[in-house]
Amino acid sequence: MTIPRVMVSNQGWLAAFLVGALSSADPGTVSAQGIRGELRVDVSAIEFQTVVRDSIPESEVPGEGITRYLPDGTIVTCVPGGYCYSYRSGVMETAAPISQDLTLTAWPGWQGVQARTHLRGRFGSNDLWPRSDQELAVLDLSVDFDRDRFRLRAGRQDHHGGLGALHFDGGSILWKGPSTLRLTVFGGRSLGRGLDVPYNGSLLADADKLAPELGAMLIGFEGRMRPTTSLSASLLYQREIRSDRASRYSERMALDAGWHAGRSRVELSGDFDMASRVVNDLRLLLGRSITPQFDLLIEGRHSSPFFELWTIWGAFTPVGFDQARLSATWRASSELTLEGSAAYRAYRETETGAALAPIEGDAFRGYLGGAWRRDDWSLAARAGVDRGFGAYRGQFDLSVDRSVGLRSSLGLHALGTEQFSEFRFGEGTTHGVGFVGRHGTGRVDLTTQLGRFRHSFQNRPGYEDYNQWRGTLAIALRFGDDPGMKSSRPIGAPRS
Amino acid sequence: MKLVRPIGGALLALMVVMSSGADPAPVPSAFPHEIHSTLFTSCTPCHDEAGSDNLTELVRVTPADCARCHDGETASLVAFRPPVQGPKIFKFSHELHVGREKFNCVTCHLAEGSEGRMPDMVRPTSESCRTCHGSDSHFAPDADCTQCHEPLSRNPDLTVERIAAFPHPPNHESAEFLSAHGTLAGIDLARCATCHARETCETCHINATQLAPIRSLASDSRVLAQAERITPRWPKPSDHDDPGWLQHHGPKAGRAIEGCANCHQQSSCATCHGTMSLAQVHISRLPNSGTTRATGIVGVAGTKPYHPAGFRLGHGPDAASGRANCTSCHQKQEFCGGCHEGTVSTGFHPLGYLNRHAADAYARDTDCASCHSNEVSCRSCHENAGLAGFDSKSASYHDAQPFWLLAHGQAARQGLDACISCHQQTDCLQCHSAKSGWRINPHGNAFDADRLSDQAPLMCSQCHFSDPVRGAGRERVTPDE
């Protein structure tokens, strides 16, 4: 099944999309069967300061070498015999990305048959915000045939498991075995991770000169079992093969298991790159409620990034890190909860012999926080620090939220962040305050955020401090019901 | 003598006495019977005018009766004030006690210490009743209120103030009573009805209209003042303290949600389940808010007490292994896609996250690439922010590392996924290619050339003219070549 990603050239498509969505929201036309849906519109407006590149002839810049300084301290990167380049603050611009999601699930009235679609339209901010050029994407378009012992699904769909969400055009068969055993086999044309479009689509082609020329076929299976209420496990395998079968794009496996009994829990999860024989992620978590008020959690983890084989990144032999984390939660009272976490990670030997320019080989991160709730009020505070390879960050968050009835909440949040990169001069601090509001009736949900931030730079001449507004507004309209979900039969009333 | 039924546990109803207080002292009769002992031979001339001799038609003496003798001539005038008759609250039959059981008046009315043919009389108290009707005390747990008292609703003369002042049986304050009173009410609801009406129960029971025992109680708004003294309490059942209760309460709630309805209404569940949950088929059987005056246990809107702190980032193993039955609350396809398909704005990340995401990306707390393609999403934004150069030679990011070219190898191997957020493959191939440029070998010691050559020969061809492992003629050669 091939569902092309449709690029639209004007906003008329989007208007049609909205009109179509709303008109299809009338459940009365299929009330005998059932239809449920949601129309969600997210509108954002983000002010930001652009950067512009400046260049001056290398001969006019004092000093030697690739990296030099102008008299005002500005760092420039020089090309011998050419120009020296630097960046400075540009004008303020506003990006206004808008996304519209329409999700429909319909039951046509035939036992076990369900159809579903998820469409997304994006527009509003060409070139300023990722993937907000005008496009209409089909994220899901599938049909289920569900019986007691099996379920068949065909169309554009995704499989959520230990490897995250796998998107593909094709089919899947779920066998509902004895007890809690569930086996799923799936396959079809693969859609790229984080893209929801084929590998050989224009998105990757625009972003990378060595983007795949051909798409990939996906095959996989998953088994899940929950032999007792305290023990569960799953195993997922998936392979992506270039459509001409000349190469693999990926071959991965995930193992997830959990054991929860009383106040103790053990979780084990692992992602393995079978093609490269690399353990991408392996976690062992031990948790225990020492007392009814005090929880302790210890986690050991190894992490190494995963790269698809259509890229060359795996050939650079990336190394991973090993991390230990300790977290504790103390419910001091029914109203007050305190928590803290600390993690240390150390990177494995890179064998690069960079003695002249060593960089951090380990990192620490931790935070302390607390939350207080009484009646409709909740206060939360958290402060944390990340220090180590790549980036340093110190931050705090404060929030005051109040529920207004059962359907609404208002919040005032404040935050501060200081961060700098190991590889870059200058620090940046951001302080902000924001309003968060929610109102939901079940059928209509409204969420809004509005924040004002102050960005300051230190040791970066050419970068000017600036204020920024960021705001988002999301409206979700839900309509229809699952078949049989309209029941409001009170306890004791006879079944109809 | 009929004894009260032995009922273990707490006594539900208040035993009501004629005046407030637990067990008042006997009230002496206003009439000096002893002075008149030589005049009247028995009780009946005054109190049984009909002469039935069994007091089935009790007559209360009035001042007019006194004036028949105390007329100022035969005898001096007197000012007799008969006792004021309060609302009838006892269920007492003189016919039964005197006519059938042949009790004498003095059996119940004789004042303590009085004697003679016409001794002083008192109004009997509940103590008098218990002489035969065998409870240890007025509020004994096994006391049968209904033996002496009519239901409250049949005492229309009782005032709101009087009802509000009903004494509290001590056992009503015990912790056990709260959990046991439902069972006891089911055994003998009539005892409750002595002091209570439907409105009393509605103070706490949000499902009052759905419970047959409460529905069978008469409605009587006079108890509202009494109910105001009750502080609604919904004690947490012991199984709710189980650390896994929130995760495992579903099956129990599905089997017998009637039990939940004592404390919870639909909005209690909506706090976590939302209103589109698959559990809604059960939740919809809970009462709606506003059905009664009771509020029940209501979660705070906007909080998600089901999931522990950090669950949003760490839910993977629970969800993947199937331990958490996500679909009992979430419509899987829609809900998971809300984050995993990267809704643009008000989704996964909190306010202001863009300014602080770098450290998280390096720490790989979450797999960013599962929602955001490094190549597509990260690069375009980093270019706009001036982090990624418009071309590789003008990049400004690594200006803090004067020997960056020497250091970048370690950085790349430790955080190659971060490099990709700015750099294309061709940036690296300028040096790391066997086809052109500096021809610097990027492979580490752990590089498995054999395997990758088998798995992805096209990857090798990006840098090598021929198969670097087997050569053009499929002969094994040194990988470095």
How does pLDDT run across A233-273, given as a tens digit for each residue? 999 999 999 999 999 999 999 999 998 877 788 999 999 99
- Token pair, residue A453, equals 């931030």
Could you say which of B345, B371, B400 has the minimum Cβ distance to residue A424?
B400
The answer to whether B320 contacts A161, with C-beta atoms less than 8 Å apart, is yes
Cα B216 to Cα A279: distance, rounded to the nearest angstrom: 67
- Token pair, residue B365, equals 């707390």
DSSP-assigned beta bridge partners for residue A53: A87
The answer to whether A292 contacts B344, with C-beta atoms less than 8 Å apart, is no
Cα A142 to Cα A167: distance, rounded to the nearest angstrom: 12
**Res. A174: pLDDT tops 90:** yes
Cα B151 to Cα B156: distance, rounded to the nearest angstrom: 10
In the 8-state DSSP scheme, what is residue A124?
S
φ, ψ for residue A266, nearest 5 deg: -130, 130
Contacts of A28 (CB under 8 A, 6+ apart): none
Amino acid at A184: T
β-pairing, A83-95 with A150-161?
A: unpaired
Cα A479 to Cα A476: distance, rounded to the nearest angstrom: 10
The answer to whether B367 contacts A351, with C-beta atoms less than 8 Å apart, is no
Q: Where are the beta strands (DSSP E) in A107-261?
A: 113-123, 135-146, 150-161, 164-176, 182-191, 216-228, 231-242, 248-261
Contacts of A62 (CB under 8 A, 6+ apart): A68, A71
**Res. A212: pLDDT tops 90:** yes
Shortest CA distance from A422: residue in chain B: B400
The runs of H, that is alpha helices, within A163-220 are: 202-207
Write the pLDDT tens digit of every residue in A112-131. Answer: 888 999 998 988 876 778 78
- Token pair, residue B415, equals 């955080």
CB B219 within 8 A of CB B270: no
The mean pLDDT of A23-49, rounded to a whole number, is 71
| pLDDT value at residue B9 | 30
CB B51 within 8 A of CB B59: no
CB B461 within 8 A of CB A250: no
Cα B7 to Cα B147: distance, rounded to the nearest angstrom: 14
**Res. A12: pLDDT tops 70:** no
Q: Does B290 touch chain A (CB under 8 A)?
A: no
| pLDDT value at residue B165 | 83
User: Which helix (H) or strand (E) is A364 found in, with range?
Assistant: strand A362-374
- Token pair, residue B288, equals 């709606």
The answer to whether A209 contacts B426, with C-beta atoms less than 8 Å apart, is yes
The total number of residues written for chain B in this structure: 481
Of B225, B230, B229, B249, which Cα lies nearest the Cα of B239? B249
Cα A89 to Cα A462: distance, rounded to the nearest angstrom: 6
- If one counts every other C-beta atom within 10 angstroms of the C-beta of residue A404, the result is 14
The mean pLDDT of A181-203, rounded to a whole number, is 91
| pLDDT value at residue A164 | 86
The mean pLDDT of A194-222, rounded to a whole number, is 91
- If one counts every other C-beta atom within 10 angstroms of the C-beta of residue A127, the result is 11
Q: Is A311 helix (H, G, I), strand (E, B) or coil?
A: coil
| pLDDT value at residue B244 | 65
Q: How far is CA A400 from CA A71, A332, A415, A436, B311, in A?
A: 47, 19, 12, 10, 21
Cα B328 to Cα B254: distance, rounded to the nearest angstrom: 11
- If one counts every other C-beta atom within 10 angstroms of the C-beta of residue B279, the result is 19
Number of alpha carbons in the 13 Å side-chain half-sphere of residue A382: 20
Q: How far is CA A436 from CA A403, A448, A450, A473, B339, in A?
A: 12, 6, 7, 10, 19
Sign (positive/negative) of CA torsion A404, A409, A410, A412?
positive
Cα A349 to Cα B461: distance, rounded to the nearest angstrom: 28
Q: Does B453 touch chain A (CB under 8 A)?
A: no
| pLDDT value at residue B130 | 78
φ, ψ for residue A33, nearest 5 deg: -105, -80
Number of alpha carbons in the 13 Å side-chain half-sphere of residue A212: 28
- Token pair, residue A78, equals 């020089």
| pLDDT value at residue B298 | 60
Contacts of B1 (CB under 8 A, 6+ apart): B132, B133, B134
C-alpha A470 chain-centroid distance: 20
In the 8-state DSSP scheme, what is residue A465?
P
- Token pair, residue A33, equals 């069967």
**Res. A380: pLDDT tops 90:** yes
User: Which helix (H) or strand (E) is A419 found in, with range?
Assistant: strand A408-421
Q: How far is CA A458 from CA A215, A293, A396, A416, B455, in A?
A: 46, 44, 19, 15, 48
DSSP-assigned beta bridge partners for residue A258: A232, A267
Contacts of B244 in chain A (CB under 8 A): 260, 262
Q: For chain A, give the mean pLDDT.
A: 85
- Token pair, residue A445, equals 């949900």
CB A189 within 8 A of CB A169: yes
| pLDDT value at residue B480 | 46
C-alpha A443 chain-centroid distance: 26
Tell which B residues from 295 to 334 touch A, by Cβ distance under 8 Å: 298, 300-303, 308-310, 314, 316-323, 331-334
Banded model confidence at residue A23, pLDDT cuts 50, 70, 90: very low
Could you say which of B341, B358, B364 has the minimum Cβ distance to residue A421?
B358
Contacts of B377 in chain A (CB under 8 A): 130-131, 194
Cα B433 to Cα B428: distance, rounded to the nearest angstrom: 8
Could you say which of A75, A447, A484 has the minimum Cβ distance to residue B399?
A75
Interface probe, candidates A142, A259, A334, A389, chain B, greatest B C-beta count within 10 A? A389
Cα A374 to Cα A397: distance, rounded to the nearest angstrom: 20
- If one counts every other C-beta atom within 10 angstroms of the C-beta of residue A217, the result is 17
Cα A180 to Cα B222: distance, rounded to the nearest angstrom: 56
Interface probe, candidates A286, A491, A495, A496, chain B, greatest B C-beta count within 10 A? A491
Q: Calculate what percentage of chain A has a pLDDT beyond 70.
A: 89
CB B291 within 8 A of CB B285: no
The answer to whether B393 contacts A77, with C-beta atoms less than 8 Å apart, is yes
- If one counts every other C-beta atom within 10 angstroms of the C-beta of residue A447, the result is 20
The answer to whether A407 contacts B410, with C-beta atoms less than 8 Å apart, is no
**Res. A493: pLDDT tops 70:** no
Q: Is A5 helix (H, G, I), strand (E, B) or coil?
A: coil
Write the pLDDT tens digit of every residue in A289-329. Answer: 888 788 899 999 999 999 999 999 999 999 999 999 999 99
DSSP-assigned beta bridge partners for residue A136: A6, A121
| Residue ranges of chain B whose pLDDT lies below 70 | 1-30, 48-58, 85-88, 134-135, 242-244, 247, 270-272, 274-278, 289-291, 298-309, 323-325, 327-335, 337-338, 341-347, 386, 389-396, 400-402, 471-481
* Termini Cα distance of chain B: 113
Amino acid at B460: C
Of A271, A52, A103, which Cα lies nearest the Cα of B389? A52
Could you say which of A42, A140, A403 has the minimum Cβ distance to residue B346?
A42
* ipTM of model over 0.90: no
Amino acid at A280: N
